[in-house]
Copies of this chain bind each other. A is one copy, B any other.
Amino acid sequence: MTRDELTRLDAVDPLAGFRARFSLPDGVIYLDGNSLGPLPAATPGRIAEVIGDEWGQGLIRSWNDAGWIDRAGRVGDKIGRLIGAAPQSVMVADSTSVNLFKLLSAALRMRPERRVILSEAGNFPTDLYIAEGLADLLGRGHELRCVAPDEIVTHLQPDVAVVMLTEVNYHTGRRHDMAAITAAAHHAGALTLWDLAHSAGAMPVELAACDADLAVGCGYKFLNGGPGAPAFLYVAPRLQAEMIYPITGWLGHAAPFAFEPGFRPAYGIARATVGTPPIISLSALEVGIDLALEADLALVRAKSLRMGEVFAALTAELDVTLMTPMGSRGSQISLAHPDAYAVMQALIERGVIGDFRAPDVLRFGMTPLYTRYADLWDAALVLREILAAETWREPRFHARRAVT
């Protein structure tokens, strides 16, 4: 493979035009859009409008006149189009962790005779923490049972209430088979709760076609919604009337502005909301979603897979170990190195931004809307130089920072 070959791939890339729709800093190859997506070029103007016109001029009237009251549902419906969900089955709300708590709690109530939350040992820690915390809170003997990623289906005993999985593993990039696991879970009488943090916007997801029950996801990774963008949740329409949520706030009430003394749950997905959403951050998220909706997700997925192959090939001879199972993966390539933290610091200093995941992983996001094949060549070259020169041994790359 040569750089020229990759440049030729870029020249015929049907997604190439999307790169200009982002504001990217000069001198940076950004392979961390799976952690924080970059700024869409349209976001600053839209947010200036939301702040200056909707808030500044409209004031409280904008809840009606600018449609703030419906915005979380509107953006939710748009996300629904990216993840194969019917209208009114996705809502933007809270953080991924809080949404996970809400849905997991409701799932356990729907299977009162079962006590096991089945998950993957290497699942994103916060998902496991939330499950443990909920089990402890309820005090009814619920158990979080974590098994190897390829053993989920064989552990679907009759005591499993819910299978809680992140579709694409944050650490390895391994992707679960949502359709197969969901079918097996249903056969065993269990519900499924999918975390789409590393799926939504990165590849076609078919929640309805897979008959998934519940899902949560993140707005600031592949959806390019901005730092800490609000998260989303999905509830299959067939379950919405059954859901009993643990956090019963006023926006989940059937008549939020009637100020009734008792809680009457709203009909449909609105029931899953709790408090007022952060309108400015929500509006930034909408810009990212609108941009994602312009792209053909099948093309995004095809380019992402090819980028992964290219990057794996470019780094195959280096002193790193490929951790991502190439036959079943999301949109990242994970490479192990015993001093991954320092190597990543050295890469970032050279303008190649990926991220480190403890204890030993270099993680590189493949994000087809703004990354070129040639960028992968350049990034791999920098990595090769750092490893060859052992640049990463320099003490300054070992100073730990709060976020790595």
- Spell out A's residues near B (CB within 8 Å): 23-25, 28, 30, 32, 35-36, 38-39, 43-44, 47-48, 51-52, 54-64, 68-70, 94-98, 101, 105, 121, 124-126, 128-130, 132-134, 136-140, 146, 171, 220, 226-231, 244-250, 253, 257-263, 274-282, 284, 348, 353, 355, 357-358, 401-404
Given known A-B contacts A97-B275, A246-B133, A249-B98, A52 and B44 have beta carbons under 8 A apart: yes
Residue in B39, B134, B279 whose CB lies within 8 Å of A226? B279
The answer on a CB contact under 8 Å between B56 and A25 is yes
Residue in B57, B60, B130, B245 whose CB lies within 8 Å of A355? B60
Q: Which residues of B contact A132 (CB under 8 A)?
A: 248, 262-263
Q: Which residues of B contact A171 (CB under 8 A)?
A: 259
The answer on a CB contact under 8 Å between A51 and B39 is yes
Q: Which residues of B contact A96 (CB under 8 A)?
A: 275
Residue in B57, B259, B357 whose CB lies within 8 Å of A25? B57
Given known A-B contacts A98-B94, A403-B64, A280 and B247 have beta carbons under 8 A apart: no
The answer on a CB contact under 8 Å between A274 and B95 is yes
The answer on a CB contact under 8 Å between B43 and A51 is yes
22 A-B pairs within 8 Å (CB atoms) are namely A25-B56, A25-B59, A36-B60, A38-B59, A39-B56, A44-B56, A48-B48, A97-B274, A101-B246, A125-B250, A125-B253, A125-B261, A136-B244, A137-B137, A139-B140, A146-B261, A171-B259, A226-B280, A228-B277, A228-B278, A229-B278, A257-B404
Looking at A25, A121, A146, A280, the one whose CB has the most chain B CB atoms below 10 A away is A280
Q: Which residues of B contact A101 (CB under 8 A)?
A: 246-247
The answer on a CB contact under 8 Å between B404 and A280 is no
- For the complex of A and B, list the 6 residue pairs with the smallest distance between their C-beta atoms, beginning with the closest: A95-B275, A133-B248, A97-B249, A278-B281, A126-B250, A63-B403
A16 to B367, CA, bound (A): 52
The answer on a CB contact under 8 Å between A48 and B44 is yes
Copies of this protein, total: 2
The answer on a CB contact under 8 Å between A276 and B23 is no
Given known A-B contacts A98-B98, A227-B55, A275-B97, A133 and B245 have beta carbons under 8 A apart: yes
Whole-angstrom distance between the Cβ of A399 and the nearest chain B Cβ: 11
The answer on a CB contact under 8 Å between A125 and B277 is no
The answer on a CB contact under 8 Å between A52 and B69 is no
A50 (CB) vs chain B CBs: closest residue:
B227
A311 to B226, CA, bound (A): 43
Residue in B59, B226, B275 whose CB lies within 8 Å of A353? B59
Looking at A126, A130, A348, the one whose CB has the most chain B CB atoms below 10 A away is A126
Q: Which residues of B contact A130 (CB under 8 A)?
A: 247-249
- Beyond A125-B253, A126-B275, A128-B262, list 15 extra A-B contacts (CB 8 Å): A32-B59, A47-B48, A68-B228, A95-B277, A98-B98, A128-B261, A130-B247, A133-B246, A138-B139, A226-B278, A228-B279, A230-B278, A257-B404, A280-B281, A280-B284
